[in-house]
Amino acid sequence: MVTEEEGYPSVPCSICGKTVRWKKPPKSKKRLPSGWKRHQAKVYCDKCWGERFILRAVSLPVASPLDCTWDELNESLHALWAVTTQASNWLMTELYAKDVRRFAGEEKMPAMAGVYLYPKARERFPDLPSQTVAAMEKAITQKYKALRKDIIWTCRRSLPTYRYPSPFPIPGQGWSIALDNGQPIISVPIGGKERIHLRLRGAAGGFHRQLKAVKQIVSGEAEQGQVDIYRQGHGKGATIMVKMVAWLPRTAMAEREVNTLFVRSTAEAMAVALNVKDEALWTYHGNQIPGWSIEHKKRLQDWADDTKAEHRPTPPFERLRNHASERYHHRMQTAAHELAAMIVNYAVRRRFRAIRWDDSIRTFAPDFVWADLKGKLATKADAASIELIALEEEVSGETVAELSD
C-alpha cells in the first residue's frame, strides 16, 4: 500500500507500520527506501526484514549441462570469464582515475563524486548482458568506495586487481531455478543462447544443507538475489560452480533458557564445551587436523627440496603440488564448517541463548583456519538467532579484548 503525504509517497511497513517519507519524489511508486524489501505482497522495513530473513550464499557444483555439451559450455564460460575479468579491472581503474588525489596539507578526505560508468561499460564490453554490466558496476563501485580511503588517502594498499577467471554475475531477475525429481535445475543466460539449463548436484552428492535452501527459493519462502558462475580448481580437475545468494527465512525457535554455552580451544583439543559452572559438557579433539598440517608441510618441504635439483623451468610434480594444496585447503574449510555446525547445533538442541567462543589457545593446531572458523561460527549462530560473544587475543599476546559479534 502506498499513501501520499504532502506530494511525497510514503510506504508503511506491513509488520510494524513504520512509515518513511521521501525527501524528494522517487522515480517509481514501486521503489522502496534503502534497506526495505517487498516479499509476497508484503512490505518490510529494514528492521523487520532483518529479524525475519538472513542473507546467505549457497554454492553447488554443476552436474551436467542440459542444452549443450560440456565443451560448448566450457567454451562459452571461458569467453565470458575473460570479458568479466577485463570489465572488472576497467571499472576499478576508471573509478580510481575519476577520484580525487590528496595534496599536501589536506587532512579530511572529501566525499566521492557520483560516477556512472554503465553506458561506457556497455559500449566497451558489448558481449556482456546489460543486467550483468549493471550488477558489476554496482558491486565494484561499492567495493571501491569501501577501500578508497586506504587507496587514495593513506596509501596503505594498492588498487585491487581481478584475475582470470572472474565470476560471471547474473542479477536476481535474470535466473530461475526448479526441482526435477529432487535435482535442482537452474536456468541462466550464457553465451549466444537466450537461456541454458544446468543440472546441479543435490542430496545424492552430499549437499543436503544447500538443497534445503534451494527448496526455500523454489517455494518462494526465500527472496533470491544474484547468481555467480565461477570455476573452482585448475586444469582437468576444475569444477564449474554456481553460487546463489538469497534472503533465507530465519529459523523459528522456541524461547530459550537464559544461559550461555562456553566453548574454548585448549592445548589438547580443538574445542571444549563448558557450562556456566565451568563443567565440561563435551570435548572435540580433532586429532586428524594437526596431522593434516604436519603431513602437508612435510610434502611441501620435500617438493621444495626437489625443485632445487635443477628442475627448470617447471618441475614435473607441479600439478601434483597444486592439487595437494587445494585438497589441504578444502579439508581445512570442511573441518571448520563441521566444527562450527557441531557447536551451534548443540547450542540449539540444549536451548542456549548465547555462545561464548575463546580461541586464544591455538597450540593444538597452530596452522588451522581459526579466523575462518570464527566467521563460520558467527554465520551459523546468527542464522539460529543465537548471540555469539567471541574472545580474540591481541597481536601482542599481552591482553585479551572482548568482542561481541
Do 308 and 208 share a structural domain? no
CB 387, CB 353: distance < 8 Å? yes
Structural domain containing residue 348: 260-404
CB 265, CB 359: distance < 8 Å? yes
Over residues 137-184, the pLDDT tens digits come to: 999 999 999 999 999 998 899 999 999 999 999 998 889 999 988 889
Q: Which three cell numbers stand for residue 95?
A: 573509478
The predicted pLDDT at position 85 comes to: 95
Do 237 and 173 share a structural domain? yes
Residue 7 has pLDDT above 60, yes or no: no
40-54, 85-99, 251-265, 374-388: the lowest-pLDDT one: 251-265
Do 223 and 304 share a structural domain? no
DSSP type of residue 60: E
342 in any annotated domain: yes
Do 349 and 370 share a structural domain? yes
- Find the mean pLDDT for residues 306-317: 76
Do 382 and 283 share a structural domain? yes
CB 188, CB 178: distance < 8 Å? no
Report the candidate in 60, 322, 51, 269 with the shortest Cα–Cα distance to residue 184.
Answer: 60
The predicted pLDDT at position 212 comes to: 87
Burial annotation 158-167 (CB, 10 A radius, 16+ → b, else e): eeeebeebbb
The predicted pLDDT at position 173 comes to: 87
How many residues in the chain? 405
49 in any annotated domain: no
How many separate domains does the chain show? 4
Do 135 and 228 share a structural domain? no
The predicted pLDDT at position 192 comes to: 56
Do 113 and 97 share a structural domain? yes
Per-residue pLDDT band at 314 (split at 50, 70, 90): confident
How many CA atoms are closer than 13 Å to the CA of 100, on its beta-carbon side? 14
- Report phi then psi at 319, rounded to 5: -65, -40
Over residues 330-366, the pLDDT tens digits come to: 999 999 999 999 999 999 888 888 899 999 889 999 9
- Report phi then psi at 46, rounded to 5: -60, -35
Do 399 and 269 share a structural domain? yes
Which amino acid is located at 392 in the chain? E
Domain final residue pick, 138, 166, 194? 166
